[in-house]
């Protein structure tokens, strides 16, 4: 396992005792912990490339937990968050969960409940990172297509036959077949259905480009 694959659990709590307790728990579970006393300290940190999640106290000096959650979302940073609090209420819990929190735990909580939530959050982050990686690779392949190949791809995924595409582009059917073969090769698509899925993931509207 490379350094980028090792999960990191960020812990933000202004109570040093809570941070130490969670850090010990994570050490026993062989998880890397990065503790912070404030949200501002966390924001000054450079996140690692590997899977991560955030154990976040709601009540913090300065920027509170819910405001940090909103700020991270606005910045496009989609790290899974587990909230912990000593005085949670239903409206606060609902707000946090609607904004995408993995879990909302009220202190004192069971160690296993926190570990379960952390593993769920890390699994979610791994899936998200894999999806982002796959999409980046698709975009890279799409960039290798010529403008005419992109036109052909758009028409192919719309369901048009080669002869219809040829008529639409004012070219020969054999030329369309060649372009279509190039599209399939460059996009590494083994079937039309797979090419259609790729176009959907790239948000390419079917039709002429």
* pLDDT score for 209: 52
Q: Quick one: what percent of the chain has pLDDT higher than 90?
A: 73
Q: What is the pLDDT of residue 76?
A: 85
CA pair distance 180, 202, nearest whole angstrom: 18
Supply the pLDDT for residue 15: 93
Select the more confidently predicted residue: 88 or 68.
Answer: 68
Going by the DSSP 8-state scheme, the letter that residue 13 receives in this structure is -
Where residue 172 falls among pLDDT bands split at 50, 70, 90? very high
pLDDT at 2: 52
Task: Check residue 159 and give left, alpha or beta (phi > 0: left; psi -120 to 50: alpha).
Answer: left
pLDDT at residue 191, as a whole number? 95
Cα dihedral sign for 126, 128, 131, 132? negative
- Bridge partners (DSSP) listed for residue 106: 85
- The predicted-structure confidence for 99-134, as pLDDT tens digits, reads as follows 788 998 988 889 999 999 999 999 999 999 999 999
Q: Residue 153: which pLDDT band, with cuts at 50, 70 and 90?
A: very high
pLDDT in tens, 10-40: 999 999 999 999 999 999 998 999 999 999 9
pLDDT at 4: 58
| pLDDT at site 106 | 87
Q: Where are the alpha helices (DSSP H) in 11-110?
A: 16-28, 39-43, 65-74, 90-98
The yes-or-no verdict on residue 57 having pLDDT over 90 is yes
pLDDT classification of 208: cutoffs 50, 70, 90: low
Residue 103, SS3 per DSSP: strand
CA count, 13 A, side-chain hemisphere, 34: 17
> Which carries the bigger pLDDT value, residue 89 or residue 138?
138
Q: Greatest CA span in the chain, whole angstroms?
A: 74
Give the chain's mean pLDDT: 90
pLDDT of residue 207: 67
Provide the whole-model pTM.
0.76
Q: Model confidence at 170, in pLDDT bands (50, 70, 90)?
A: very high
């Amino acid at each position: 396992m490379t350094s980028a694959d090792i999960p990191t659990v960020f812990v933000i709590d202004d109570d040093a005792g809570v941070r130490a307790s969670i850090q010990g728990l994570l050490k026993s579970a062989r998880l890397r912990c990065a503790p912070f006393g404030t949200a501002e300290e966390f924001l000054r940190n450079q996140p690692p490339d590997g899977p991560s999640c955030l154990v976040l106290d709601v009540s913090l000096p300065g920027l509170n937990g819910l405001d940090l959650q909103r700020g991270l979302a606005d910045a496009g940073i989609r790290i899974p968050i587990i909230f912990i609090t000593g005085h949670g209420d239903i409206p606060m819990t609902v707000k946090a969960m609607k904004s995408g929190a993995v879990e909302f735990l009220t202190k004192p909580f069971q160690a296993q409940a926190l570990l379960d939530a952390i593993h769920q959050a890390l699994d979610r982050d791994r899936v998200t990172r894999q999806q982002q990686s796959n999409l980046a690779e698709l975009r890279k392949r799409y960039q290798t297509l010529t403008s005419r190949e992109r036109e052909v791809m758009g028409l192919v995924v719309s369901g048009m036959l080669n002869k219809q595409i040829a008529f639409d582009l004012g070219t020969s059917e054999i030329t369309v077949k060649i372009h279509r073969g190039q599209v399939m090769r460059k996009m590494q698509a083994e079937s039309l259905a797979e090419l259609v899925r790729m176009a959907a993931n790239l948000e390419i509207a079917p039709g002429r480009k």
